Amino acid sequence: MTGRPGDPDDLERQLVLFGPRVYGLLVRLVGRPDVAEDLMQETLLRAFRSVDTYRPEGKLRAWIFRIAVNLARDWIRRRPRDAAASLDDGSDGPLPSALAGHLPPEADLVRSERSRRVETALARLADPDREVLLLRYYGDLSFKDIAQATGEPIGTVLARTHRALRKLGDLIPEDEL
């Protein structure tokens, strides 16, 4: 899906297919399923409305994730104080339990528990570090695409990735993976 979308019906279908992946990114960035649902819809609507500004040499996925990241950043900047406090206090925060109900129903108990621990550790990273890690290993973007999506130099992206991976690794014991 790298060409310029032409047919509006086809574009609508493509954007709908992006919904779950964009939601997965957003819910881990903002920590609230209800907000992530709204932002997911807003992301894809904005993509639809401004598809004329999309440059075909870039990846459509990277362009959409860039919109999503910007919306998430706006929401995080404006989020109510109590929500910010619960995310930043170093505790588990609302994310893991919020995502727990969104795991695939076929996931077995062990896998769900492991995922919950990873989500918990992920929620404890600094917002910009978590953002880079998710874009790389969940969004499958290249470091170059991440630099474009976040507006940061590629060296900063690599440094954030290193810090985030290391902290995540330190938070999760070997036997929990």
Partner 1 sequence: MSGCPKNTEWVLYAADELPADRRADLEAHLAACAACRGEWESLRRGLAAMKSLPREPQVRPEAMESLRRRLRVAAAHKAARPTVLAAVRRYGWVAAAAAIVVAAVLWGVRPPADRTPAVRAGDRDVAEEITEIAAAIEFLEGSDLARAAENGFNHSEAPAYDAQEELMRLLERIVTEGA
Instruction: Match 């999309």 to its residue by tokens.
Output: 54
Closest CA relative to residue 28, chosen from 108, 115, 107, 145: 115
Q: Is 73 near partner 1 (CB under 8 A)? A: no
The smaller minimum CB distance to partner 1, of residues 151 and 155, is found at 155
DSSP state of 107: -
Quote the least distance from Cβ 81 to partner 1, whole Å: 25
Quick note: the x/- pattern for partner 1 over 139-168, rule CB under 8 A, is: ----x-----------x--xx-xxxxxxxx
Q: Are 104 and 24 in contact (CB under 8 A)?
A: no
The smaller minimum CB distance to partner 1, of residues 119 and 131, is found at 119
Q: Count of residues for the chain?
A: 177
Q: Are 99 and 27 in contact (CB under 8 A)?
A: yes
Quick note: the x/- pattern for partner 1 over 21-50, rule CB under 8 A, is: x-xx--x---------x--xx--xx--xx-
CA distance 111 to 33: 21
**How many residues sit close enough to partner 1 to count as binding (CB under 8 A)?**
51
The smaller minimum CB distance to partner 1, of residues 12 and 89, is found at 12
With b for 16 or more beta-carbon neighbours within 10 A and e for fewer, the 145-167 pattern comes to bbbbbbebeeeebeebbebbbeb
Q: Is 84 near partner 1 (CB under 8 A)? A: no
Q: By CB under 8 A, name the binding residues for partner 1.
A: 8-9, 12, 15-16, 19-21, 23-24, 27, 37, 40-41, 44-45, 48-49, 99, 102-105, 107, 114-115, 118-119, 121-122, 133, 136-138, 143, 155, 158-159, 161-170, 172, 174, 177
